[in-house]
Amino acid sequence: MTADAAALLFRTTFGSDPTGVWSAPGRVNLIGEHTDYNSGLCLPIALPHRTFVAAKPREDDLVRVVSAQGDGLVEVPLAEVAPGRPGGWAAYVAGVPWALRRAGYAVTGLDVAVDGRVPLGAGLSSSAALECAVGAAASDLFHLDLLAGDVGRTTLAAACVDAENTIAQAPTGGMDQSAALLASEGHALLLDCRDGHTEQVPFDLSAHGLALLVVDTRAQHALVDGQYAQRRDSCEAAVRELGVASLREVPAEGLEERLSALSSDVLRRRARHVVTEISRVQQAVTSLRSNDFRAVGELFLASHASMRDDFEISVAELDTAVESAVAAGALGARMTGGGFGGSAIALVPADRAPAVQATVREAFAARGFRSPDSFLVTASGAADRDR
Ligand code: ADP
Ligand code: MG
């Protein structure tokens, strides 16, 4: 139990027992990529992999943080937390009480010990898992009562986004924090990024002899942040040229004619991805609700092709994961997350999972890629108190 590990780290670091232990999950997005900042739709599930934080409030303003995956104790007065301060991983922790205070909540300093079991930097949202576990702890420790319902949880998610954007200075659209705080076991979370509306969509593959495989490609590519900014800029340029409030307003019907008004082929392809991807999320929800998993698999493949060809955010490792999974019997597969590395997902018959994993591993070896990590996941629960 990593709740035990977090509590033990707390005791050995700070010399007393924590008030409690809280945890929050990583996520994979089933479909709907680069749609969040286009007022679109996405469909994440919470992972069984969680980040645990043991915490205790302080009388003074000091924030002290230690992590089993960090590099020593970091101390900063809450009043001195600012963009880039503290630097590094501790920003994801200290940014949360900072953001809650900025949102008007009475928050003091605290001691925090972290043990994360979400793979770091694999596109599975270890950053939001960390923020949201700290947010859950802060909600209870400072009696903010933000965990009791969706309204409070949405408020807490916004504070965690603020922490990541402003203090850790990482751009993020909000899907990760919503998944970590609002997802429910056995369900995918349909998130409408235009108005924040959410719906729970049943996602219990085991009842249908299926499973979801995550392939962490462990691929490392430079320039990821720059590419993300470029894609956002292209979407904004397309919005301006089309004279719409967002790409969400552009219907999928008659799309090509509409796109012909754009000034370049690149803008046409970027906008085409976003508009068709939003439509694929809607179709995937309909297919899941009617247990049509073949259709879901085909939507995964269409989504991957769109990201590879139109949005141009895939890389050879992600394409290899998708192609080899399908060759070994997956109903469908796609890269998930921002792109340029990270993870892919595959919808597989449960009894084919080991064969798919072996085939993917062999395909990576044949191309001289780093050996990928892969594991089966189920839709798990949101951030909460563990003890
Ligand atoms: P992802 O969220 O996809 O895993 P990010 O780059 O957004 O990738 O976030 C990863 C960063 O979050 C790490 O480099 C580290 O700074 C921080 N982080 C996440 N989990 C932990 C942890 N358990 N301990 C310390 N830092 C963590
Ligand atoms: Mg992240």
Q: Which atom of ligand 1 approaches the CA of 176 most closely?
A: 2
Confidence tier at 222 by pLDDT (50, 70, 90):
low
* Ligand 1, atom 9, residue with closest C-alpha: 127
Confidence tier at 262 by pLDDT (50, 70, 90):
very high
Tell me: the pLDDT tens digits for 132-179?
999 999 999 999 999 999 999 999 999 999 999 999 999 888 999 999
Task: Indicate the pTM of the whole model.
Answer: 0.96
Mutate to test the pocket of ligand 1, among 2, 50, 71, 126 (most ligand atoms within 8 A of CB): 126
Tell me, using a 6 A CB cutoff, whether residue 114 lines ligand 1: yes
pLDDT of residue 173: 81
Distance (Å, whole) CA 339 – CA 348 = 22
Res 113 pLDDT > 80: yes
Q: Which atom of ligand 1 approaches the CA of 120 most closely?
A: 4
pLDDT of residue 233: 96
pLDDT of residue 223: 61
Res 367 pLDDT > 80: yes
pLDDT of residue 244: 98
Average pLDDT score over residue span 180-198: 97
Question: Of the candidates 31, 51, 49, which has an alpha carbon nearest to the alpha carbon of residue 40?
Answer: 31
Edge to edge, the sheet with strand 332-336 lists 332-336, 343-349, 210-216, 373-377
Question: Of the candidates 343, 381, 377, which has an alpha carbon nearest to the alpha carbon of residue 24?
Answer: 381
Res 246 pLDDT > 80: yes
Tell me: the pLDDT tens digits for 302-333?
999 999 999 999 999 999 999 999 999 999 99
Question: What average pLDDT does the chain have?
Answer: 97
Tell me, using a 6 A CB cutoff, whether residue 23 lines ligand 1: no
Average pLDDT score over residue span 222-235: 86
CB neighbours (10 Å) of residue 77?
Answer: 12
State the catalytic residue, choosing from 176, 216, 310, 386. Answer: 176
ipTM of the predicted assembly exceeds 0.95? yes
Tell me: the pLDDT tens digits for 25-84?
999 999 999 999 999 999 999 999 999 999 999 999 999 999 999 999 999 999 999 999
Mutate to test the pocket of ligand 1, among 27, 118, 120, 175 (most ligand atoms within 8 A of CB): 120
Tell me, using a 6 A CB cutoff, whether residue 92 lines ligand 1: yes
Domains, the chain, with CATH or none: 2-201 (3.30.230.10)
Question: Of the candidates 140, 129, 136, 131, which has an alpha carbon nearest to the alpha carbon of residue 91?
Answer: 131
Res 224 pLDDT > 90: no
Tell me, using a 6 A CB cutoff, whether residue 121 lines ligand 1: yes
Tell me, using a 6 A CB cutoff, whether residue 52 lines ligand 1: no
Task: Write out the two tokens for 325.
Answer: 């999974």
How far is ligand 2, taken at its centre, from the CA of residue 261, in Å? 35
How far is ligand 2, taken at its centre, from the CA of residue 87, in Å? 16
Percent of the chain whose pLDDT exceeds 70 = 99
| Beta bridge pairs of residue 50 | 25
Q: What is the 3-state secondary structure (H, E, C) of the chain?
A: CHHHHHHHHHHHHHCCCCCEEEEEEEEEECCCCCCHHHCCEECEEEEEEEEEEEEEECCCCEEEEEECCCCCCEEEEHHHCECCECCHHHHHHHHHHHHHHHCCCCCCCEEEEEEECCCCCCCCCHHHHHHHHHHHHHHHHCCCCCCCCHHHHHHHHHHHHHHHHHHCCCCCCCHHHHHHHHCCCCEEEEEECCCCCEEEEECCHHHHCEEEEEEECCCCCCCHHHHHHHHHHHHHHHHHHHCCCCHHHCCCCCHHHHHCCCCCHHHHHHHHHHHHHHHHHHHHHHHHHCCCHHHHHHHHHHHHHHHHHHCCCCCHHHHHHHHHHHHCCCCEEEEECCCCCCEEEEEEEHHHHHHHHHHHHHHHHHCCCCCCEEEEECCCCCCEECC
How far is ligand 1, taken at its centre, from the CA of residue 121, in Å? 6
Please state, in angstroms and as integers, the Cα–Cα distance from residue 104 to each residue in 18, 64, 277, 367, following that order. Answer: 25, 22, 37, 53
Tell me, using a 6 A CB cutoff, whether residue 127 lines ligand 1: yes
Burial of 251 (0-12, 13-18, 19+ CB in 10 A): exposed
Distance (Å, whole) CA 231 – CA 210 = 34
Tell me, using a 6 A CB cutoff, whether residue 135 lines ligand 1: no
* Ligand 1, atom 18, residue with closest C-alpha: 127
Q: Which atom of ligand 1 approaches the CA of 125 most closely?
A: 2
Res 225 pLDDT > 80: no
Residue 176 annotated among the catalytic residues of the structure: yes
Average pLDDT score over residue span 172-190: 95
For residue 90, which ligand has an atom nearest its CA? Answer: 1
